[in-house]
Structure 1
Amino acid sequence: MFTCRFYLFCLVTILYICLCVGNSNIKKCVEAEKNALLKFKAKLIDKNDLLSSWKGQEDCCIWKGVTCDNSTGHVILLDLRPPNINLDIIPQLGGNIDSSLCELQNLISLDLSFNQLEGKIPQCIGSLVQLTYLDLDNNGLVGAIPHSLGNLSNLQILDLGNNEFLFANHLEWVSTLSNLTYLDLSYTNLSQVVDILSPLTKLHFVEYVELDFCELHQFNLKSTPLIKSFNSLLSFSLRGNYFSSLSWMFNVSKVITHLDLSSNSLQQSIPDGFKNMSSLECLLLSNNKLQGSIPKSFQSLCQLITLDLSYNKLSGQFSDYMQHLCSEGHDIINLKLSDNQLNGTLPYNIGQLSKLQSLSIHSNKFSGIINESHFSNLSNLRYLYVDKNPLSFNLSSNWIPPFQLSVLSASSCNLGPKFPLWLKHQWKLMLLQISNNGISNYFPEWFWDLTPGLAYLNVSHNKLSGALPKSIPSMKPRISEITWDFSFNNLSGPLPSFPPQITLLSVSNNMFSGSISSLCGSSYQNLAYLDLSNNSLSGRLLDYWGQFQNLQVLNLATNNFFGRIPDSFGTLQSIETIHLNNNNFTGEFPSLANCSNLKLMDFGDNNIEGAIPTWVGENLHQMIILRLRSNKFQGSIPKSLCNLSHVQVLDLSNNNIIGNIPQCLDHVTALSNTTFSREPISYETHGYIGFEDYNFGSFSDKAILAWKGENREYGKNLRFLTAIDLSCNQLNGQIPQSMTILIALASLNLSSNNLTGFIPNNIGHMEMLESLDLSKNYLSGTIPESLSNLSFLSYLQLSFNSLSGKIPSSTQLRTFDAYTYIGNPKLCGPPLSKDCPEDINNTYGNDVEGEDDDNGFISFGFYISIGLGFFIGFWGVCGTLILKTSWRYAYFQFFNNVCDWIYVQLLLFIARMKRRFQVQD
């Protein structure tokens, strides 16, 4: 849409210039208008002197960006759009738009786009009734769009897009802009607008409408047949809103050629109603939740050039999609179906799309074999994206493709096992992504003839072997940024000289050997990312690092480098990440005090000595990961480390550090605030392929951390980890109570030190703790009950201290085995086998009073005595009665007499009771 707008602006400009040149009576600018321009300039911020020609003593008609009517001297055009807007860094104007601009009453065209202007749009701009072109696009304007703009009845182009803090409560003022042909309100907040279509239907000449990212939900379709009102609408862009239905769109315009509803909330299947939109040339429905397959009404779209259905949930076989396209649809240039759930094989009739330039089907479930027949008629193919599909390429070694690709992206397919020979003829390639393709042989010699044009090369995660050439050819002049990734292969030999324009270089996880002296022969001024990790590189690092002034990421980990770390590291003012871990560096820490952008510093597993410098905490305020473990650092922990408010991982373990743990660690905001923003440590790469800016992907930083007793490497999840590891040092004193304020800390390891005193009672406040290791110290006292509150705790070590008392009886703490608590002789209770004294008393004392006192008399002889007494007593009586008949008779006679007496006494008692009750009656 910008192209159309720009052409219209050029047409207006040329028309007025031609009219003015034809007049020989050239007049200077009007004094009042000159003064108005100077007032306008006074409210601007012009850091780059873009308006240096605006001086009071000169004719304002010759000022930069100002055009006057030669016959009247009135200012008619004001164009302060910055130059070179396609560059990443452009000189721009800041400040506010002063109302003095409204004194230019003859202004026909006003362009202030692509600046950094702030504040509100002046209401008085609505008084510039001669305006036909108004462009305030890409600024920082705020507030409500003034309704006075509705007075500009001559306006043909109105662009207020890309001002994220503008809003409008209604659009009735738009309906009076009867000559409008182009309207862009993108990024304006229109969520409160009830009726959007009605005002737009009154714009009978409007051809282009852009309402991208305006927080729109659904249009009010009470009104009239829209198709009769929008009879001139060619392009309607509603990208990035919240529309859930597409059916309302079918009655908007019969002549519409461009429809963009990407990045909305469209659901269910694509409705079958495109018969009324047979003029469509471009249909963009990507980034939605569409399901099902292409409807049959797509057969009516015979003018279709671009179809983008990527990033949805579409299913079915690709052959069905080809059947539902117009049978005459050989003019399709951009076909995008990537990131769906499509399956089946790639149909051969894809070759019928003879004008196809771009085919994107990556991240689906396509399978089968691709051979020459699929490409036989695709002579115009330039962009091919087939990544992340289980596809196999079966192309003969002598096949010459009919196309010249600019982009081939085929990661996680199967191009191997040999290097694809047909690439030899693709000498226009600028992007080659063939990672994880099972390629196992050498780079062919002809491959290096392609590299001067490759802005992006990724051959990682294959099995490529052999050495790279000593010197790789320089890049073509049009290639300014280069990303090359050779990582995770079997490449060997010395490092070659790479092109000086290179921006990102990764050769990690190979078998390269020797020094890295080849990097010091050229000036790598563009190099921002250098990863040489996990190789067999060796030698001392030369002191030449000052040439890498744009370097942001440096990874030399897991090699055989030795000697002192060069002092020139301290000149890397752009550096954000340094990995020097797992080498043999010695000497003291070089000063990196000027590297204020450092976020990750890993010097672990070396032989660096001396004290931890205080400037780490005083200067490196962006630090997130500080890993100095397994070195020979001495002295105490500097209190300045408490100034690292962003630090999430602090690992000083396995050194010779002495003294107390600083009391001020609670000042670390990232560890004491659970809502702290945790940004990923990553580096994004991009570059131009032709005239388009491509995002080549992001590289997430990694670090090896001791977590729950094991060393693990973390990448994408590194941003969420919070840990302090001070283990294996000679720290003494108590654990500071202030550490319990670190409620966002997930891992704390203070083991193998000389810490004394108690475990802080309120340690249970550290609610996010998953891992706690306090083992091998001299801690005393009881285990705090609050430790039971740590519901996320899954790793605990309190062994080999001087803890005493009963282990708290919570379910949480008793899930750990006895090894968690061993080496504390005075601890008792489960899961230890040693019972606590109070538990023994409770078991026996509650059942029989005084039982413990009597237990001392019970012995084996006691039970023998009971047995003998029973035997003698029983047989002394019963045996006599059995043997002596007279005694037996007298014994039983006695019992009979007793029973008779009891019976008679019972009857007498009953009789007396009866008589007593009768007397009472």
Structure 2
Amino acid sequence: MIHCVFHFLFCIVAILCIGLLCAESIGMNKCVETERIALLKFRDAINLNREFNSSWKGEECCKWEGILCDNFTHHVTSLHLLFFGFGGKLDSSICELKHLTYLNLNDNQFEGKIPKCIGSLGNLIELDLGGNYFVGVIPPSLGNLSNLQTLDLGVFNYLTANDLEWLSHLSNLRYLDLSYVNLTLAVDWLSSISKIPYLSELYLYGCGLHQVNLESIPLLNTSISLKSLGLKDNELQSSILKSFRNMSQLQDLNLNSNQLSGKLSDNIQQLCTTKNDLRNLDLSNNPFKVMSLPDFSCFPFLETLSLRNTNVVGPFPKSFVHLSSLSSLDLGFNQLNGSQPLFEITKLVSLKTLYLSHNNLSGPFPHTIGQLSDLNELRLSSNKLNGTINETHLSNLSELKYFDVNQNSLSFNLSSNWVPPFKLEKLHASSCTLGPKFPLWLKHQRWLTDINISNCGISDSFPKWFWNLPSSLRYLDVSHNKLNGPLPKSLQSLNVNYEDIWVWDFSFNNLNGLLPPFPKLYALFLSNNMFTGTLSSFCSSSSQRLINLDLSSNMLVGPLPDCWEKFQSLIVLNLAENNFSGKVPKSLGALGQIESLHLNNNNFSGEIPSLILCQKLKLIDVGDNNLQGSLPMWLGHHLHQLIVLRLRANKFQGSIPT
């Protein structure tokens, strides 16, 4: 009986407790009022887009975009607002969110100084202010954030730090990125960072780091934990490598663009340790002595190796074949020569990306290239390769996306009915032989975004299927061939992403007919063809974001449209050597960015319109026209950057402005 009474009372108490908890939960459904007010102050201090501004309204701020709250206390614990494009200053009201554990404002447009009070947010685990435009000295108060595991203040910011002693207090830090923070005066950078015991990733790109006195640093705590180290774009010398020898966990090391010197083999030897787990190594753009590639066998797990522009010459060491895990190799801009290096490299069957551009490689395109069945990118431009490329070379490269053999003497001999096994996105074959017929195998490459087949000996017209490719041709260069016939009447119907289109170049061919409307390009080159007709529809059919327009050396006629004020991004305008007539449009004077203006060898008449607002002009060529009147005074008084002024063969009169 007593047991039943006790059980009954226990149930009543449990129900009451649950009820009280539910009531408390209901009462606290809204976020803490002081924190809601702090968020509104933060919102009002920055430039918000309309869509975001509408989402930060109402009483329940825990439901606002980018906000996370604790499920029980309803305190704001996370502010996650990366990639929103916010501007303005970071208000100190952010420091009233005392329970914040994550503050991520990466890749916005915040400016001004970082509030010192952020150092009072002792619960922070992640602080990411990278990719903004903050200025001034990094507040040393950030050293109070003892729970911090991630700190990112890098890229775009205009921050400085005269010393980094405060970093040594962040004992729980795992990830640190201060890339492009000015650390030229922080001579203690290595000693301070060495005191962070669990640091796993460190990025100090472009910080102005100079050599340090390694004897002043008896012990590197980070040697146990550091796995990724990025020191690109600094002034470090080879002796810095000694400090990395004991980093037994190091997997990624980037020393691109420093002042490492001496023999490459000696530098490699300093990195070798008894237990070496290095996976990714970048020593590109360092002034090593001219010598052949050293032995890399002490890095058995190496996956990516970049030695671009490091004065490497041949022959290629056969020991490289033992790097069985190597998937990316960059030896571009060196002095490798002959056919042996490329032949040896094709034995690295795990390769996915291979960069050998700008060397002196010669000989035929190797049949053994087919052994690289996982190859995704093959870049061999600016070498001296010769001979033929046929189906047997390419039939096993099913993963190939980027194929670059620009500036070689290779000849493509592919049958008209050949269907490639790959789906290229970029094809660069300038100065190779693809003609005389237009390469039919391109019909099956429906994902191309970049095509460079200039100077390829093509004497044909564009096939209809070429303009039906459902791709985004952001870069197209077919110049210096003998392409003939008209362009299709409408190119704007192409299935393209207008935001990605950059350059189309049809120059130096035999194309004719009327100019069609073009997609929204940044640069359009149509010079040295036989296009006819007027530019009457140019204003309505052309991209207003054009930077470079070249229609020179054609057979275009009639007056120019007076709509040039729409093209405020235009830097180069070349309409020379046509049969344009009439007055030079006054709207050309509204081109505030124009630097080079070519109107020569036409039939323009009347006076030169005022170009006073074209303050960036460096070249004006109106020679060989029928222009008349006196030379305007603004030529000498306002265009202070003008270097070339060509007025010959016109009907000007009067005195020359001084």
Query: Normalised by the shorter chain, which TM-score bucket?
Result: 0.7 to 0.9
Instruction: Report the Cα distance in structure 2 between the residues aligned to 1:660 and 1:340, rounded to whole angstroms.
Output: 56
Give the match for residue 340 of structure 2.
Answer: 319
Give 1:453 shift.
Answer: 4.7
CA contact (8 A) 1:256 1:280 kept: no
Letter in 1 for 2:86: Q
SS in 1 for 2:30: coil
Root-mean-square deviation (CA, aligned residues, Å) is 3.5
SS in 1 for 2:611: helix
Distance 1:250 1:37, change over 3 A: closer
Is 1:476 the counterpart of 2:470? The answer is: no
Instruction: Report the Cα distance in structure 1 between the residues aligned to 2:343 and 2:227, rounded to whole angstroms.
Output: 26
Distance 1:566 1:438, change over 3 A: closer
Give the match for residue 557 of structure 1.
Answer: 552
CA contact (8 A) 1:254 1:279 kept: no
Give 1:488 shift.
Answer: 1.2
Instruction: Report the Cα distance in structure 2 between the residues aligned to 1:354 and 1:416, rounded to whole angstroms.
Output: 27
Is 1:461 the counterpart of 2:480? The answer is: yes
Q: Normalised by the size of structure 2, how large is the TM-score?
A: 0.80
Give the match for residue 610 of structure 1.
Answer: 606
Which residue, 545, 562, 578 being the options, matches 2:573?
578
Give the match for residue 75 of structure 1.
Answer: 76
The correspondence of residues 658-669 of structure 1 with structure 2, limited to 5 A, is 658-662=653-657, 665=658
Distance 1:447 1:643, change over 3 A: closer
Give the match for residue 598 of structure 1.
Answer: 594
Cα displacement string for residues 776-833 of structure 1 (whole angstroms, at most 9, x for unaligned residues): xxxxxxxxxxxxxxxxxxxxxxxxxxxxxxxxxxxxxxxxxxxxxxxxxxxxxxxxxx
SS in 2 for 1:557: coil
Give the match for residue 191 of structure 1.
Answer: 184
SS in 2 for 1:173: helix
CA contact (8 A) 1:607 1:631 kept: yes
Cα displacement string for residues 498-539 of structure 1 (whole angstroms, at most 9, x for unaligned residues): 664555443321233x42xxxxxxxxxxxxxxxxxxxxxxxx
CA contact (8 A) 1:475 1:501 kept: no
Instruction: Report the Cα distance in structure 1 between the residues aligned to 2:209 and 2:314, rounded to whole angstroms.
Output: 25
Distance 1:452 1:42, change over 3 A: closer
Give the match for residue 230 of structure 1.
Answer: 223
Instruction: Report the Cα distance in structure 1 between the residues aligned to 2:579 and 2:497, rounded to whole angstroms.
Output: 41
Instruction: Report the Cα distance in structure 1 between the residues aligned to 2:343 and 2:210, rounded to whole angstroms.
Output: 32
Instruction: Report the Cα distance in structure 2 between the residues aligned to 1:111 and 1:541, rounded to whole angstroms.
Output: 51
Give 1:41 shift.
Answer: 4.1
Is 1:415 the counterpart of 2:452? The answer is: no
Cα displacement string for residues 376-396 of structure 1 (whole angstroms, at most 9, x for unaligned residues): 432211111121223333444
Give the match for residue 404 of structure 1.
Answer: 423
Cα displacement string for residues 173-208 of structure 1 (whole angstroms, at most 9, x for unaligned residues): 333323322221111122333354444444444332
The correspondence of residues 22-421 of structure 1 with structure 2, limited to 5 A, is 26-46=28-48, 50-51=52-53, 54=56, 58-83=59-84, 91-95=85-89, 97-218=90-211, 220-222=213-215, 223=217, 229-245=222-238, 248=242, 251=245, 253-267=247-261, 270-271=264-265, 272-273=268-269, 274-290=296-312, 298-299=320-321, 301-311=323-333, 313-317=334-338, 319-320=340-341, 323=344, 329-421=348-440
Letter in 1 for 2:633: K
CA contact (8 A) 1:117 1:139 kept: yes
Distance 1:35 1:449, change over 3 A: closer
Give 1:291 shift.
Answer: 5.0
Work out which structure has the larger RCO, using CA pairs closer than 8 Å and 6 or more positions apart in sequence.
Answer: 2
Distance 1:465 1:624, change over 3 A: same
Cα displacement string for residues 348-407 of structure 1 (whole angstroms, at most 9, x for unaligned residues): 333222211111122233344433343343221111112122333344445443322221
Give the match for residue 699 of structure 1.
Answer: none
Distance 1:242 1:368, change over 3 A: farther
Give 1:546 shift.
Answer: 4.4
Instruction: Report the Cα distance in structure 2 between the residues aligned to 1:43 and 1:393, rounded to whole angstroms.
Output: 61
The correspondence of residues 365-764 of structure 1 with structure 2, limited to 5 A, is 365-450=384-469, 452-470=471-489, 474-476=493-495, 478=497, 480-482=499-501, 483-492=503-512, 494-495=513-514, 497=516, 500-501=519-520, 504-512=523-531, 514-515=532-533, 540-542=534-536, 545-548=539-542, 549-592=544-587, 593-613=589-609, 615-617=610-612, 619-641=613-635, 642-662=637-657, 665=658
Distance 1:292 1:129, change over 3 A: farther
CA contact (8 A) 1:258 1:281 kept: no
Letter in 2 for 1:283: L
SS in 2 for 1:408: strand
CA contact (8 A) 1:475 1:499 kept: no
Instruction: Report the Cα distance in structure 2 between the residues aligned to 1:382 and 1:27, rounded to whole angstroms.
Output: 53
SS in 1 for 2:427: strand
Cα displacement string for residues 835-863 of structure 1 (whole angstroms, at most 9, x for unaligned residues): xxxxxxxxxxxxxxxxxxxxxxxxxxxxx
The correspondence of residues 762-781 of structure 1 with structure 2, limited to 5 A, is none
Distance 1:434 1:455, change over 3 A: same
Give 1:574 shift.
Answer: 4.1
Instruction: Report the Cα distance in structure 2 between the residues aligned to 1:221 and 1:51, rounded to whole angstroms.
Output: 52
Instruction: Report the Cα distance in structure 2 between the residues aligned to 1:365 and 1:656, rounded to whole angstroms.
Output: 52
Instruction: Report the Cα distance in structure 2 between the residues aligned to 1:413 and 1:219, rounded to whole angstroms.
Output: 50
Higher helix proportion: 1
CA contact (8 A) 1:254 1:276 kept: no
Distance 1:651 1:282, change over 3 A: same
Letter in 2 for 1:165: Y
Distance 1:162 1:648, change over 3 A: same
CA contact (8 A) 2:214 2:243 kept: no
CA contact (8 A) 1:120 1:143 kept: yes
Instruction: Report the Cα distance in structure 2 between the residues aligned to 1:123 and 1:490, rounded to whole angstroms.
Output: 66
Instruction: Report the Cα distance in structure 2 between the residues aligned to 1:109 and 1:489, rounded to whole angstroms.
Output: 59
Cα displacement string for residues 856-879 of structure 1 (whole angstroms, at most 9, x for unaligned residues): xxxxxxxxxxxxxxxxxxxxxxxx
Instruction: Report the Cα distance in structure 2 between the residues aligned to 1:586 and 1:501, rounded to whole angstroms.
Output: 27
Instruction: Report the Cα distance in structure 2 between the residues aligned to 1:248 and 1:300, rounded to whole angstroms.
Output: 26
Letter in 2 for 1:427: R
Identical aligned pairs, as a percentage? 45
SS in 2 for 1:567: coil
SS in 1 for 2:94: helix
Instruction: Report the Cα distance in structure 2 between the residues aligned to 1:546 and 1:491, rounded to whole angstroms.
Output: 23
Distance 1:426 1:452, change over 3 A: closer
Letter in 2 for 1:158: L
Cα displacement string for residues 155-185 of structure 1 (whole angstroms, at most 9, x for unaligned residues): 2211111145222234333333233222211
Q: Normalised by the size of structure 1, how large is the TM-score?
A: 0.59
Point out the more displaced range, 140-149 or 279-288: 279-288
Give the match for residue 820 of structure 1.
Answer: none
SS in 1 for 2:651: coil
CA contact (8 A) 1:270 1:295 kept: no
Letter in 2 for 1:602: H
Point out the more displaced range, 456-465 or 247-256: 247-256
CA contact (8 A) 1:611 1:634 kept: yes
Cα displacement string for residues 734-779 of structure 1 (whole angstroms, at most 9, x for unaligned residues): xxxxxxxxxxxxxxxxxxxxxxxxxxxxxxxxxxxxxxxxxxxxxx
CA contact (8 A) 1:331 1:355 kept: yes
CA contact (8 A) 1:621 1:643 kept: yes
Cα displacement string for residues 207-231 of structure 1 (whole angstroms, at most 9, x for unaligned residues): 32222112234465445686x8434
Cα displacement string for residues 462-513 of structure 1 (whole angstroms, at most 9, x for unaligned residues): 2333444555694335564433322212334x2464664555443321233x
